[in-house]
Amino acid sequence: MAAPVVRRVAGFATFKGCLQRRGGEVTSAPKIADRVFSGIQPTGVPHLGNYLGAIESWVRLQERYSCVLYSIVDLHSITVPQHASTLRHNILDMTASLLACGIDPERSVLFQQSKISEHTELAWILGCLTSLPRLRHLPQWKMKASGQKEEGSLGLFSYPVLQAADILLYKATHVPVGEDQIQHLELAQDIARIFNNQYGGSFPVPKAILSDTKKIKSLRNPASKMSKSDPQSLATVYVTDSAEEILLKFRKAVTDFTSEVTYDPDTRPGVSNLVAVHTAVTGKTIQEVVEQSKGLDTARYKYVVAEAVIEKFAPIKNKIERLRADRGFLEQVLHRGAQKAKEIAHPFYHEIQKLVGFS
């Protein structure tokens, strides 16, 4: 697909695929082109699994689609307790990380969710169309609520509705998701159909873009996915880890008592996880990696994988450090992104207000 056409409007980039203008006034496009939306919580710098499972594919989507919106979903983050100063820091840290990984504000709309009030306004409307049993059916509610006092908050219970509003507010046609988010996207699809049937709306029913990247597992427990909440510090590799830290974490990675490098996730999950990481950061196939690793025992192979990860993350780490030092630039990126997102969201939400009877 050709590179997206960009026009300069009011001092910032407006994407031809996202907006149309009529007599200088922004209006929603009469025909909705392919439009991608996705969000990420501001939980600090990404880890290896975040990068390979989501962010790397986000970068590629900028090339495939002319209208791509990426939101730092800080409203979602407060469904669990947050310290205000930590949250502010994490929002900027995530912004720096996304930019360093290749998210380009000239080819996508990168913005902070809470700066666009229409997200929560639409979530209220959609919440009035969503039944309690439908939300209780989502497994994430049961899983997350079990870890909180008194079953969890109203925000935690209803955040899938806000997720649907995030998507539908921009009339997104495609949403990159992992397999664990499919049911939440199905909820957004159902809500879009319900609204369209009840009010005669024109929400597209968003389609999933499933990543073909293998899930990266914990280095200390290959039965679980890599996670920031893992209590074992050696289990998770971050994009800002030093070369020494990465080497140590892979050296301590759990494998098994067979020295040969093979790929068999069922019987050799630890070694297979290393192979999955190796293929993901080098672009080689599993077959190529296994073939090239003949003669290596797993102890030496850990160093090979670690070196490949270090090489992949070195330029990203350096760029994050430079961006962190320029807080003003990061704030400007988010401000301009919010302007662009607002310009897209406002006319769409105005249509919804009229359909519901608010305007």
Our answer to whether residue 214 is catalytic in this structure is no
Contact at 8 Å (CB) between 221 and 270?
Answer: no
Closest CA to 330 of 4, 56, 338, 78: 338
Our answer to whether residue 144 is catalytic in this structure is yes
One-letter identity of residue 214 = K
DSSP label at 231? S
Strands 68-72 and 36-40, bridge-based pairing: parallel
Residues 6+ apart with CB under 8 A from 346: 26, 118
Catalytic residue from among 225, 284, 319, 342: 225
- Which token pair is 218? 């914990």
Catalytic residue from among 228, 284, 319, 342: 228
Closest CA to 344 of 127, 131, 68: 68
- Which token pair is 22? 């009529």
Our answer to whether residue 16 is catalytic in this structure is no
Cα Rg for the chain, rounded, in angstroms?
22
Backbone angles phi, psi at 36, to 5 degrees: -110, 135
Catalytic residue from among 16, 115, 144, 319: 144
Residues 320-326: contacts with CB within 8 Å, 24+ apart? 320/45, 320/96, 320/97, 320/100, 320/239, 320/240, 321/240, 323/95, 323/96, 323/99, 323/100, 324/92, 324/93, 324/96
| Positions marked active-site | 144, 225, 228
